[in-house]
Amino acid sequence: MNSRVIKLETLPVSREAEEATCHLLDRLESDLRNQVQRLNLESREPVEQIIREVVARYSRVVCQEKPEVESLRRLQTELQSAIDRNEQFLAHILKDSADAIITVDAKGRIIIWNKGAEAIFGFREDEIVGHHIQRLLPPGREYELRQIEEQTRRLGAVNSRLTQWRTRDGKTIQVILTSTAIKDGAGSYAGSSLVVKDVTRQREMEDLVRQAEHFSSIGRLAAGLAHEIKNPLAGIQGAIEVIKDRTTGELETDILSEVLCEVGRIDKIVRDLLNYAKPKTAELRPLQLEPLVRHVIGLLKESGGKDVRFVVEGKPAARNALVKGDGNYLEQVFMNLLLNSLEAMNRQGTIRVGFKEDQDTVQVRIQDSGPGVPLGVQGKIFDPFFTTKQSGTGLGLSICQRITHEHGGSLALDPDVKKGAAFIMKLPRYQLQ
């Protein structure tokens, strides 16, 4: 009798499984025959028939499993295809996302760093992987990282947190961060996945809109007050001058001179108010910023700035870059900023004017070696009428910022300076047609 009742190669199984099944069938048939021989039956034909039926029945059972095996194999193939597609989809998200996608282990070391992270922070993958995530934080903000990690461990996620991180070149940027906990097989915290979105430009635009609305309302009020004050003030000034001319006493003359001096100070405040509230229309044309800066430096050296060291620095491409602006207004901004630095240093020290440029903007950074701006007033220095000077009107920096905004740019205090104060002006770069 042929021991191969079925052809096992028709089943979608491995060669090892086929050989094992054949071996089992051979043993089954052999065992049955041995039992028959022990019985010493006169006629073995019925028993042979029984053996054939048993083996065939077993074979049919095996054959009946074939559709289920094929179905399971098809299901396995479909599941594997779905897994592969999902992996490719996630890989594309990780690779092509404009947002930074960063994964850190339980100790805070970076283990995944995508192209979005490279574009935002400036570090290549081979430069940053293995380093602690703290490397991306500005000095003094380590506490915030601990808060984010603790909340991620405890709650499983931290959603849309606005904070400040630092790029490779030391620039502080505004980011929105979402952190999600990663668990291991035992359910323990194994790290976190971070999605970081750079919203610096967006926040700057929002600030510009708020400031424009603020300036508009204050400007209307200031214009009204200035007109109401200016006419009576002119009358007072004229009357005092007449009285002074008719006074012969030395004491009275000195007093009237002081009064005229204060009237002149009030008149300057009124003129600043009008200039702030209703500025003249700027005449924009392509120009370079460095000649304006050097002209202002020359004026300041002639009027009490001889003991100050002025340093103008930057690559030629940045110093020669063009912006579209009004030279008179921009010179007024540089005069105010440089004069503030001069006075903050008591007219002794170093003032550095640095130029930078990129595809879209030209940047001028003015830094002095003075005492700096106290932390408590840094958020107020651009507010109209805020001043820390005895004789200041509090409108200088407000006017500077307004002029910069009207040129489509920005003016801000650099918060990361360790010594002195630094102001950064950014203006749109003019592209030659």
26 is in which domain, residue-wise? 8-64
Q: In this structure, are 136 and 270 located in the same domain?
A: no
Query: What's the DSSP call for residue 394?
Result: S
Query: In a 10 Å sphere around its CB, with 0-12 CB exposed, 13-18 middle and 19+ buried, how is residue 345 labelled?
Result: buried
CATH number at residue 172: 3.30.450.20
d(CA 373, CA 388): 10
How confident is the model at residue 218, as a pLDDT?
Answer: 66
Give the CA distances from residue 417 to residues 244, 303, 340, 420, in Å, rounded to whole numbers and listed in that order: 51, 28, 17, 7
Q: Is residue 356 part of a domain?
A: yes
How confident is the model at residue 26, as a pLDDT?
Answer: 66
Token code pair at residue 145: 């990282």
At residue 215, what is the residue type? F
Q: Is residue 106 part of a domain?
A: yes
Q: Is residue 83 part of a domain?
A: no
Q: In this structure, are 187 and 218 located in the same domain?
A: no
Q: Is residue 236 part of a domain?
A: yes
In 3-state terms, what secondary structure has residue 196?
strand
Q: Per residue of the chain (433 residues), give pLDDT as tens.
A: 444 433 434 444 455 555 555 665 566 666 666 655 555 544 455 556 665 666 665 555 555 555 655 666 777 777 777 777 766 666 666 667 888 999 999 999 999 999 999 999 999 999 999 999 999 998 888 888 899 999 999 999 999 999 999 999 888 999 999 999 999 888 899 999 999 999 988 887 777 677 667 666 766 776 777 777 877 888 888 888 888 888 888 888 888 888 888 888 888 777 777 776 666 677 889 999 999 999 999 888 887 777 889 999 999 999 999 999 999 899 999 999 999 999 889 888 999 999 999 988 999 999 999 988 888 888 888 887 777 776 666 778 888 998 998 899 999 999 888 889 999 999 999 887 6
Q: In this structure, are 399 and 306 located in the same domain?
A: yes
Token code pair at residue 231: 């006419």
Query: In a 10 Å sphere around its CB, with 0-12 CB exposed, 13-18 middle and 19+ buried, how is residue 18 labelled?
Result: middle
Q: Is residue 75 part of a domain?
A: no
In 3-state terms, what secondary structure has residue 80?
helix
DSSP bridge partners of 351: 310, 368
The angle at the Cα of 37, spanning 33 to 39, to the nearest 5 degrees, equals 115
Helix residue ranges per DSSP H, 247-310: 250-277, 290-302
Of 30, 25, 34, 26, the residue nearest 57 (C-alpha): 25
Of 360, 363, 348, the residue nearest 422 (C-alpha): 363
d(CA 240, CA 271): 20
Residue 22: CB atoms within 10 Å: 14
Domain end point (choices 64, 82, 111): 64
How confident is the model at residue 4, as a pLDDT?
Answer: 40
Q: Is residue 208 part of a domain?
A: yes
Q: In this structure, are 177 and 208 located in the same domain?
A: no
How confident is the model at residue 6, as a pLDDT?
Answer: 38
CATH number at residue 259: 1.10.287
How confident is the model at residue 149, as a pLDDT?
Answer: 92
Contact by Cβ (8 Å): 100, 116: yes
How confident is the model at residue 180, as a pLDDT?
Answer: 93
Q: Is residue 232 part of a domain?
A: yes
At residue 2, what is the residue type? N
Domain count, the chain: 4
Q: In this structure, are 296 and 421 located in the same domain?
A: yes
Q: In this structure, are 232 and 184 located in the same domain?
A: no
Q: In this structure, are 233 and 355 located in the same domain?
A: no
